[in-house]
């Protein structure tokens, strides 16, 4: 399973991550690939800060 993006202060709490991992295991997921949101200049940063 791809768990993207993990967003600081929104989706990275231990409770949210644990619920996601447990739920994935219950349906037979055998791997999880986590990835954070990069807020470098341009693309995502501009969209998040200036919707």
pLDDT tens profile 1-51: 999 888 877 888 999 999 999 999 999 999 999 988 777 776 666 766 665
pLDDT at 41: 73
Cα-to-chain-centroid distance, residue 22: 15
| pTM reported for the whole predicted model | 0.66
The pLDDT value given to residue 8: 77
What's the burial of 37, exposed, middle or buried (CB within 10 Å: 0-12/13-18/19+)? middle
pLDDT at 14: 92
Could you give the CA distance from residue 45 to residue 41 in angstroms, rounded to a whole number? 6
Q: In angstroms, rounded to a whole number, what is the distance separating the alpha carbons of residues 22 and 8?
A: 20
CB 51 within 8 Å of CB 23: no
Distance CA 29, CA 23 (A): 9
């Amino acid at each position: 399973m791809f768990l993207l993006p993990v967003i600081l202060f929104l989706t990275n709490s231990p409770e949210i991550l644990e619920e996601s991992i447990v739920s994935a295991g219950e349906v037979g997921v055998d791997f999880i690939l986590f990835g954070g949101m990069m807020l470098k200049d341009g693309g995502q940063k501009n969209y998040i800060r200036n919707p």
